[in-house]
Amino acid sequence: MKFKFNYYWLLGLLPLIFLFWYFIKIEDKKPLRYLPYYGPKTWSESKDTAFHTIPDFAFTNQYGAMITNRNVAGKIYVCEYFFTTCKSICPIMNTNMEKVYKAFKKQDDFLILSHTVDPETDSVSVLLNYAHMHGATDQHWQFLTGSKKELYGLARKGYLLSADEGDGGADDFVHTQNFALVDWNGHIRGYYDGTDSLEVNRLMIDINLLEQEHGLETQNNH
């Protein structure tokens, strides 16, 4: 009986400990937790860790403008791969992505990059119509097309969204429901199932954590 009493007393104490820790973090203006880094790491001679970074890219958006890695430098962004004629997972993914867009579209340091896996069909005009269908009316949600080889290469070697081998040829196809969260330095900080509303909620929580981390880093560098 005494053991059971102590057990319940401990369970009651845990929420208080969490609240104490939470308010300390808020007072320090630090994120409640730091997101992990994904992808292969390298080490320099000074034993500093270099995390996987998204390589350079250049694609055309729904307005006919060229979007490169320079456009995302210093920004937090969510990446996905889809195609406009998809009848299975893509409509669910982009309905969920609408929630992310609406929640963060007023943040100057936030973007969404939606890459087509069917560039032969998804022209600039097709992507613009698709963007409007999902309520994307500004530069915070970019729908991108370009060379299939480059789009697929970036999906596999950059965002690590597909483990399948391929060369971007006529018979190659990438189809994934996963979103990737990328920080202001081009590091992957999370993966989320874009068809799962709970996973998308977790993504939005993690975007807020990255916003806090970014703000703290910016403050410390000044």
Half-sphere exposure of 131 (CA within 13 A, CB side): 25
Note the pLDDT of residue 57. 98
- Walking along the chain (222 residues) 10 residues at a time, the average pLDDT comes out as 50 50 51 89 72 97 98 97 97 98 96 98 98 96 98 97 87 94 98 98 97 85 67
Distance CA 222, CA 220 (A): 5
Instruction: Name the fold adopted by 42-220.
Output: Glutaredoxin (3.40.30)
**Taking the model in full, what pTM does it have?**
0.85
How many helical (H) and strand (E) elements, i.e. helices and strands, does the chain have?
6, 9
Q: Which residues of 104-134 are buried (b: 16+ CB within 10 A; e: fewer)?
A: bbeeebbbbbbbbbbbeebbeebbbebbeeb
Identify whether the C-beta of residue 54 lies closer than 8 Å to the C-beta of residue 68: no
Q: Which residues of 32-43 are buried (b: 16+ CB within 10 A; e: fewer)?
A: eeebeebeeeee
Note the pLDDT of residue 86. 97
Query: Hey, what's the torsion of the CAs at 161, 163, 168, 171, to 10 degrees?
Result: -120
Note the pLDDT of residue 221. 74
Note the pLDDT of residue 201. 97
Note the pLDDT of residue 174. 94
Note the pLDDT of residue 3. 46
Note the pLDDT of residue 138. 94
Note the pLDDT of residue 23. 44
Query: Which contacts of 70-73 are long-range, i.e. CB under 8 A and separated by 24 or more positions?
Result: 71/111, 71/142, 72/111, 72/113, 72/182, 72/186, 73/184, 73/186
Enumerate the domain spans of the chain: 1-30, 42-220
Note the pLDDT of residue 152. 97
| Residue 76: exposure state from Cβ atoms within 10 A (0-12, 13-18, ≥19) | buried
Chain position carrying tokens 């009316």: 137
Note the pLDDT of residue 8. 52
Note the pLDDT of residue 218. 76
Distance CA 92, CA 72 (A): 25
Note the pLDDT of residue 28. 53
Distance CA 220, CA 214 (A): 10
Note the pLDDT of residue 171. 86
